[in-house]
Structure 1
Amino acid sequence: MEKLLEVEKSVASNSVLISDLTLRIDAVEKYSENTAVKSGKMDSQLSSLFAENKRLWDKVDELDAYKRRWNLRISGLADVLQSSIDVAHRLGPKLGYTRPCTIIVQFLSRSHRDRIWADARRSEVLKQKKIRISEDLTQRTKEARNKLWPLVEKARKEGRRAGFRGPNAVVGGKRISADDV
């Protein structure tokens, strides 16, 4: 009989513990559901913030690139056309004693800049004197072009027209973004 009473007490005690555990499990379950809802909202907000951040960086880069459209970088030359230049700056330290440092030039008008850019690309004199003129690109545009260069190079080797327009590659008339690669 005593053993039976002990078993009954044990069952009663276990019933109370089970009931208490059930209540705690229900509370944890509700907390977990609330946390999942909050997490879902935060994921949505985070996605929205990432999209907005990308849009804002693209806009900043676009504005920076637009401002740089008046600029050219000139390497290996110390004196340039003074009448069409608004501002010229030397970039970085002198590259040894054999070459002057790179100069960045902002022209008074885009037409001056575009004419010099077009002439420089075909100039044998500049090539002989090792004077190099390049566009003043933003860092993001340089990175995008570097990422897309293998596609452009491959297309050119295949005889197709390929080049760059801003940060995008243009291969066979189709614009390709670095994000697409």
Structure 2
Amino acid sequence: MEKLINNNAMKIEGLKKTVDFVCSEVQELKKNMSDAEKCIDEEKRCRSMLENRIWELEGYHRHWNLKLHGISEKDGQDVRTAVIAAEEKIKLPDVIDTVHRLGSKVNTDKPRPVILQFTNRVHRDAIWKAVRNNSYLRENKLRFTEDFCEEDRERRKKLWPAVKSARDAGKKAYFVRARAFVESKEIVLPP
């Protein structure tokens, strides 16, 4: 009987050591998991910060551009020459740096928009203001629009109902890039 008790005591001692080892391993795994969660949270924060920075840089870069809609499209056409010809008709100084069509050519009667990158933002902003009521553009069915990244377009789309309802109510409502204002107060989107 004493031998059986000793044998059981040894087995119990072995089980205790095994349980202690497993408990210490579980504690170490919990610590490792906690450390990994902290790293993941930090990486998420960094990723979010980098995405915001990319969004800001893309928006800044695009702020040098305007889109011109309505320039007819022909095979082998030098789009820069066509844009400069239109530019001369609306009496704008030679301030365009690069010109190219957007997207792939598709079989449609509607010409693809042309992106214009200006030599500096002062010229771009002056042209943006000057072309608003230009008779040549209207008569030739040409129009300029601002160049926005996808995030800015989505944000403006979400803000548009608030801007429209404010305008319908007779309030001064407007956009500045991807931000909307009513009576000079910024509209904040819910998270």
Q: TM-score range by the shorter chain?
A: 0.7 to 0.9
How high is the TM-score relative to the length of structure 1?
0.74
The Cα of 1:135 is off from its aligned counterpart by 0.8
Rounded Cα–Cα distance in structure 1 between residues aligned with 2:168 and 2:185: 17
* Aligned residue type for 2:148: L
Rounded Cα–Cα distance in structure 1 between residues aligned with 2:38 and 2:139: 58
The one-character-per-residue Cα deviations of 1:42-85 (angstroms, maximum 9, x if unpaired) are: 22222222222222222222222222222101111253316232
Which runs of structure 2 are paired with 1:1-181 in the superposition (5 Å)? Answer: 5=1, 9=4, 14-77=8-71, 78-79=82-83, 80-81=86-87, 83-94=94-105, 96-123=107-134, 126-127=137-138, 129-176=140-187, 180-181=190-191
Between the two proteins, the alignment pairs up a number of residues equal to 174
- Alignment RMSD: 3.0
Rounded Cα–Cα distance in structure 1 between residues aligned with 2:169 and 2:60: 32
Q: Which structure's relative contact order is higher, taking Cα pairs within 8 Å and 6+ residues apart?
A: 2
The Cα of 1:124 is off from its aligned counterpart by 6.4
The Cα of 1:143 is off from its aligned counterpart by 2.7
Structure 1 segments unaligned to the other structure (5+ residues): none
How high is the TM-score relative to the length of structure 2?
0.71
Rounded Cα–Cα distance in structure 2 between residues aligned with 1:28 and 1:160: 69
Contact kept in structure 2, 1:162 and 1:172, CA below 8 Å: yes
Rounded Cα–Cα distance in structure 2 between residues aligned with 1:47 and 1:98: 50
The Cα of 1:175 is off from its aligned counterpart by 3.3
**Inter-CA distance 90–39: structure 2 relative to 1 (3 Å threshold):** same
The one-character-per-residue Cα deviations of 1:104-148 (angstroms, maximum 9, x if unpaired) are: 011233233222212333456645644332111122222332333
Other structure's SS at 1:63 match: helix
Instruction: State, as a whole percentage, how many aligned pairs show the same letter.
Output: 32
Structure 2 segments unaligned to the other structure (5+ residues): 72-81, 89-93
Other structure's SS at 1:164 match: strand
Rounded Cα–Cα distance in structure 2 between residues aligned with 1:176 and 1:48: 30
